[in-house]
C-alpha cells in the first residue's frame, strides 16, 4: 500500500491545462533509469486527470497498476497516485488535508500562477512519507484499527479473569478445608485438655 | 405394419362396382387393404375413421406450423445483437409456440382416447388398430421433435443473452481503464488544446483531431493511435462521467459504512467491559468467602493452641502439684511412723 506521487494543481476552467503548483513523488522503488520517465508520466497523467475533474468533485481513475485519485475544490486540485490496495477513503481524506494545508500556507496566491512552479513544498514531501500508511491519513481507519486492538486486549483480559476465577475457586475450597481441619484440631485439643486434670 | 403403403383404392372401387352389378351382399367394409392415406374416403362407414384421420391430419399440420415458427424464432434469437434485440418479438413468438405445443399435446391425447375407444369397441380390425397406432406414434414423434427444437432455441437464446450481459459488463467495468489509457495516449501535448477544459472531454477530442495532425513534437505514431482511438473513446468518456456521480455517492457511503462499523465496534467493546465487570464482582465475592474461611481457621487454630498451652501448663503445673502431694504423703508417713514408733 503505497503512494507514488502527490500533486497539487490549479485547474481553472478558463486556462487550457492545469498548472502544477507542487509536486512530490517517491520513485525510489523504480530503477534508476526509469525514474525520470516515471516522473514525466506522473506529471502528464496528473494534468489530464485534473483537467477532467469537474470542480467540487472527486474522481478515481484506474491507470495500469495505479489508481489516480483526484479532488477538485474551486479550482485547486489535488491528485494522488496510489496503488490498488490503498483504501479510497483515506486517499480522499489525504487529498482533503493537502488542499487545506495548501490553502492555509499559500492563501490565494496560487490563483495567479501561470506556470508550473518548481519550488518544493516540504509539507507535501512529508505528507508523502507520512501517509504511506493509510491509517495516518484516515482517522476512521485509525480509530477502527485501535478499536480492534483494544478488543483483542479485552478478550485476553477476559480470559485471564476467567483463569483467576478458577484459581479463586480452588482457593475457596482449600481455605474451607483448612478451617474444617483447624476446628477438628481445636476440638481434639479441648478433649485432651478436659479429661486428665488430676494427672 | 411397415411403411410401405399400397394404395389399393382403385381395385377396391372396381370390386365394389362389380359386386354391385352382381347384386350380391354388400361387401363388408373390411379395410383389409392397407390404405392409411385414405383421407379422401368420405363414406359413412368410415366416419369415425375419417374423423380420426381428419384430426390426425389437423394435428400434423399444426405440428408443421409450430416447427416453422420455431425455426423463425431460432433465426431471430441468433440474429439479435446487443443494440438491436427484438425481445418483444421473440417473447411473443415464444408464448405462441408454447401455446401451440400445449394445444397439440391435448389434441394428441384426444386422438389417443379415440383410438382406445375404437379398440374397446370390440369389433375392430387389426389393420385399423395398427393404422391408428402408427399414426399416433408418428404424430407423437413429430411433436417431440418440435418441442425439442423449441427448447434448443430457448437455451440458445438464454446463452446469447448471457454473452451479451458479459460483454456489457466488460465494457462498463473497463470503461475507466480503457478511458484513461485513451487519455494518456491522447495527451502528448497539452498546449494544442485551445478549447476549454470542460468536463465533456469528448468535445475536446474533436478539435484535437485537426490540430494534432499538424504539429508533431513527440512521436507521430502516438498521435495516429490517439486519432484512431478517439472515436470509440468518446462513448467511454460519457459513461465514465456517469460513473463519477456514483463514485461520489460510494465515497460517502463508504464513510457511512466505516462509521457504522466503528460504532458497532464501540458497542461491542462496552459489552465486553460490562461482562468483565460482572465477572470481577463475582470473583470479589469468592475472595470474601476465602477471607472468612481463613479467619475462621485462624480462630480455631488460636483456640486449639491456647487449649494445648493450657494443657501443657497444667501438666507441668501438675507435676509441681504432684511434688507437693508427695511431700504431704511423706509428711503423713512420718507422722504415722511417729505415732507408731
CB contacts of B280 in chain A (<8 Å) are 161
Inform me whether the pLDDT recorded for B94 exceeds 70.
yes
Q: Which three cell numbers stand for residue B339?
A: 505415732
Count other C-beta atoms under 10 Å from residue A66's C-beta: 21
Average confidence (pLDDT) over A29-55: 81
Residues with Cβ within 8 Å of B143's Cβ and at least 6 positions away in sequence, in order, are B59, B63, B101, B104, B105, B108
pLDDT band at B209 (very low <50, low <70, confident <90, very high): very low
Q: What is the mean pLDDT of residues B211-230?
A: 43
In this structure, which long-range contacts are made by residues B187-190, counting pairs with CB atoms below 8 Å and at least 24 apart in sequence? B187/A44, B187/A47, B187/A48, B188/B217, B188/B218, B188/B219, B188/B222, B188/B223, B188/B226, B189/B215, B189/B217, B189/B218, B190/A16, B190/A17, B190/A44, B190/A47
Q: Which of residues 265-294 of B touch A (CB under 8 A)?
A: 265-266, 268-269, 272-273, 275-276, 279-280, 282-283, 286-287, 289-290, 293-294
Cell match 462496552: residue? B270
pLDDT band at A140 (very low <50, low <70, confident <90, very high): confident
> Is the pLDDT reported for residue A121 higher than 80?
no
Q: Is the pLDDT assigned to residue A198 strictly greater than 70?
A: no
Instruction: Check A190 against B293: CB less than 8 A apart.
Output: no
Which set of grid coordinates corresponds to residue B73? 424464432
* pLDDT at residue A122, rounded to an integer: 76
> Which has the higher per-residue pLDDT, A117 or A49?
A49
Distances in Å between the alpha carbon of B67 and those of B87, B134, B141? 20, 21, 13
> Which positions in chain A touch B191 (Cβ < 8 Å)?
16-17
**Minimal Cα–Cα distance from B333 to chain A, Å?**
22
So what's the pLDDT on residue A138? 76
pTM of the predicted protein model: 0.43
Residue A161 and residue B283: Cβ atoms within 8 Å? yes
Q: Is the pLDDT of residue A38 over 80?
A: yes
**C-beta atoms of B197 and A168 within 8 A:** no
- Asked if A147's CB is within 8 angstroms of B266's CB, the reply is yes
Q: Is the pLDDT of residue B54 over 60?
A: yes
Q: Which of A108-122, A174-188, B117-131 has the highest mean pLDDT?
A: A174-188
Residue A166 has pLDDT above 80, yes or no: yes
Q: How many CB pairs under 8 A join A and B?
A: 173
Question: Grid coordinates in use for A163?
Answer: 483463569
What is the ipTM, given to two decimal places? 0.70
What are the grid coordinates assigned to A194, written together? 478436659
Instruction: Give the three cell numbers for residue B269.
Output: 467493546
Q: Which residues, other chains included, contact B247 with Cβ-Cβ below 8 Å and sequence gap of 6+?
A: A58, A59, A60
Q: Distance of alpha carbon B248 from its chain centroid, rounded? A: 32
Residue pair A143/B262 in contact by the 8 Å Cβ criterion: yes
- Tell me which chain A residue has its CA closest to the CA of residue B238: A52
Amino acid at each position: 500500500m503505497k503512494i507514488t506521487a502527490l500533486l497539487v494543481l490549479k485547474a481553472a476552467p478558463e486556462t487550457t491545462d492545469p498548472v502544477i503548483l507542487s509536486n512530490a513523488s517517491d520513485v525510489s522503488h523504480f530503477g534508476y533509469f526509469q525514474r525520470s520517465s516515471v516522473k514525466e508520466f506522473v506529471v502528464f497523467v496528473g494534468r489530464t486527470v485534473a483537467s477532467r475533474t469537474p470542480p467540487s468533485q472527486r474522481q478515481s481513475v484506474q491507470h495500469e497498476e495505479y489508481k489516480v485519485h483526484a479532488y477538485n475544490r474551486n479550482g485547486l486540485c489535488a491528485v494522488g497516485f496510489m496503488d490498488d490496495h490503498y483504501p479510497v477513503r483515506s486517499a480522499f481524506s489525504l487529498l482533503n488535508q493537502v488542499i487545506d494545508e495548501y490553502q492555509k500556507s499559500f492563501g490565494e496566491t496560487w490563483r495567479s500562477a501561470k506556470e508550473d512552479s518548481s519550488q518544493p513544498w516540504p509539507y507535501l514531501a512529508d505528507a508523502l512519507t507520512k501517509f504511506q500508511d493509510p491509517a495516518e491519513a484516515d482517522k476512521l481507519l485509525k480509530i477502527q484499527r485501535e478499536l480492534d486492538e483494544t478488543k483483542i486486549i479485552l478478550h485476553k483480559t477476559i480470559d485471564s479473569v476467567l483463569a483467576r476465577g478458577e484459581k479463586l475457586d480452588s482457593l475457596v475450597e482449600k481455605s474451607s478445608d483448612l478451617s474444617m481441619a483447624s476446628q477438628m484440631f481445636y476440638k481434639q485439643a479441648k478433649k485432651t485438655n478436659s479429661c486428665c486434670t488430676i494427672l | 405394419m411397415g411403411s410401405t403403403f399400397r394404395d389399393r383404392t382403385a381395385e377396391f372401387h372396381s370390386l365394389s362396382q362389380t359386386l354391385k352389378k352382381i347384386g350380391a351382399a354388400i361387401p363388408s367394409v373390411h379395410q383389409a387393404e392397407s390404405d392409411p392415406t385414405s383421407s379422401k374416403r368420405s363414406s359413412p362407414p368410415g366416419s369415425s375413421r375419417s374423423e380420426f384421420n381428419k384430426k390426425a391430419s389437423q394435428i400434423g399440420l399444426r405440428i408443421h406450423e409450430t416447427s416453422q415458427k420455431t425455426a423463425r424464432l431460432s433465426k431471430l434469437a441468433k440474429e439479435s445483437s446487443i443494440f438491436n434485440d427484438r425481445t418483444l418479438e421473440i417473447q411473443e413468438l415464444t408464448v405462441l409456440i408454447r401455446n401451440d405445443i400445449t394445444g397439440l399435446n391435448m389434441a394428441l391425447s384426444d386422438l389417443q382416447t379415440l383410438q382406445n375407444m375404437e379398440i374397446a369397441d370390440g369389433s375392430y380390425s387389426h389393420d385399423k388398430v395398427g393404422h391408428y397406432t402408427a399414426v399416433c406414434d408418428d404424430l407423437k414423434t413429430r411433436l417431440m421433435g418440435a418441442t425439442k427444437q423449441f427448447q434448443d432455441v430457448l437455451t440458445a437464446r438464454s446463452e446469447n443473452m448471457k454473452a451479451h450481459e458479459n460483454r456489457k459488463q466488460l465494457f462498463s467495468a473497463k470503461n475507466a481503464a480503457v478511458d484513461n489509457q485513451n487519455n494518456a495516449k491522447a495527451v502528448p501535448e497539452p498546449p494544442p488544446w485551445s478549447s476549454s477544459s470542460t468536463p465533456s472531454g469528448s468535445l475536446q477530442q474533436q478539435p484535437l483531431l485537426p490540430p494534432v495532425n499538424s504539429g508533431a513534437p513527440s512521436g507521430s505514431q502516438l498521435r495516429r493511435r490517439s486519432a484512431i482511438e478517439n472515436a470509440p473513446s468518446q462513448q467511454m468518456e460519457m459513461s465514465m462521467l456517469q460513473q463519477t456521480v456514483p463514485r461520489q455517492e460510494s465515497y460517502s457511503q463508504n464513510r457511512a459504512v466505516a462509521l457504522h462499523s466503528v460504532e458497532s465496534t464501540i458497542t461491542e467493546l462496552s459489552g465486553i467491559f460490562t461482562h468483565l465487570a460482572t465477572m470481577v464482582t463475582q470473583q470479589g465475592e469468592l475472595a470474601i468467602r476465602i477471607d472468612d474461611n481463613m479467619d475462621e481457621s485462624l480462630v480455631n487454630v488460636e483456640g486449639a493452641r491456647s487449649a494445648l498451652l493450657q494443657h501443657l501448663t497444667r501438666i507441668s503445673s501438675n507435676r509441681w502439684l504432684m511434688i507437693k502431694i508427695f511431700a504431704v504423703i511423706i509428711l503423713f508417713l512420718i507422722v504415722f511412723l511417729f505415732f507408731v514408733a
